[in-house]
Amino acid sequence: MVLTGVPGTTRGDTVLVLDGDAARPGSAGERTVRVPDHPERPRLSKFHAPEIVFGADSLPEAAHAALRLGARRPFVVTDPGVTEAGWPAELLGHLRAAGLRPQLWNEITQNPKDHEVHAGFARYENSGCDVVIGIGGGSVIDAAKGVALLATNGGTIGDYEGIDRITHPIPPLVMVPSTSGTGADVSQFCIITDTERLTKLTIMGRALVPDVSVIDPRLLVTMPDWLNAATGLDALTHGIEAFVSLAHGPLTDTHALHAVALVHTNLPTTMLRRTDEGPRTAMAQAALEAGLAFTNAILGATHAMSHQVGGMLDLPHGLINGVLLPHVIRFNGAGDPTRFVPIAQAMGLDARPGMPGDEAVDMVAGEVRKLADEVGVPTGLGAIGVREGDVPRLARLTLGDACLTTNPRSASVEQIEDLFRRAL
């Protein structure tokens, strides 16, 4: 899928979106998406992004990037699953060919734990490493960020929960994602499980934006189906929440809508035909653009709630998002539904400019649930282990999550409890 016309558009214009391999007007995949109006004066904003290398066979560029950043003994972070797939071994070969002496650490589990990050930091410190390289999914990349954070700031990872708590520069970061959804390789977020409180720590700060992200779509073909579905729905959630966020802007809007369109068109295909290069590359781009959108516009209630469930049950983050997102869409749409019209258009739904926003809200929520069904996500939190008795605690923890600050509609603890119950 490609998006054309954006650089020259003006407020309210439409742009041509081509699905799949379609590349000419009049083809079967053609549809239009309306660029949202911005009648108000744009807010002053910053747009954070790393250097990005994108494309098949780009993995060797990670070695060149590390060398440029001054590496001599890079610390390579990964996990057992990615190790089994063979990608770290290929990366280590490129690093050694560049004259570097890499150290590998692969003791990371799903939803990285505070004690794992502390163990990784001890290994980093004892081995005299410099540049940190993460190769894997969001868990690996978050753990790599956590190790780098502690390397120069000290303390424990829980000391940095919240926004801009990092005071000292961290070692250079090079990230190589092996999934198509988390956006951690371009974001200013680091999400770590607090094993004492059974919740997730949300750490945010400009220092956590990697120096270089190397995105090689080849790495995506080794994802198991459940991870492909979970990370794809995570990217969709990033795009939707960034677009309606209180901190959205013209730059994030374009990336957010394009990510939504890419996921909607290509995720089902990647579930059926794992090795098809076109859809895989499109999903890699979707993850990238969604990541660029949410790291600058931040997120909303879906993520704030999902972090609590994931911390309690140690389940895939994107799977929980897929259950929660339709309910949060309807909740936010009851406050201001207008921004869901462009989202409906990006998903290829029958949404016309000027249509009532509440119709678009229903369309989008229904389509998200349909996509979740298609890729095998349960219909309720109860099916994955959440019980009625968990709801009050989950709601209280949600109110303290940084992602809730940019949700477009404010929420009380009672309203969050109601959302959890609706999602059961």
pLDDT in tens, 189-207: 999 999 999 989 999 999 9
Give me the pLDDT at residue 43, please.
66
First to last CA, the chain: 35
Q: d(Cα 309, Cα 305) in Å, to the nearest integer?
A: 7
What's the whole-number average pLDDT of the chain? 90
Give me the pLDDT at residue 292, please.
97
Q: How confident is the model at residue 35 (pLDDT cuts 50, 70, 90)?
A: very low
Give me the pLDDT at residue 352, please.
80
Give me the pLDDT at residue 221, please.
95
Cβ neighbours for 224, distance < 8 A, ≥ 6 positions apart? none
Q: State the burial class of residue 24 (Cβ atoms within 10 Å of its Cβ: 0-12, 13-18, 19+).
A: exposed
Domains of the chain: 2-35+223-423 (1.20.1090.10), 51-222 (3.40.50.1970)
Give this prediction's pTM.
0.88
- Kindly report which listed range (4-8, 77-81, 130-134, 284-288) carries the lowest average pLDDT score: 4-8
Give me the pLDDT at residue 351, please.
80
Give me the pLDDT at residue 19, please.
37
Give me the pLDDT at residue 41, please.
58
Is the pLDDT score of 15 beyond 70? no
Is the pLDDT score of 324 beyond 70? yes
- Kindly report which listed range (122-131, 350-359, 365-374) carries the lowest average pLDDT score: 350-359
Give me the pLDDT at residue 274, please.
87
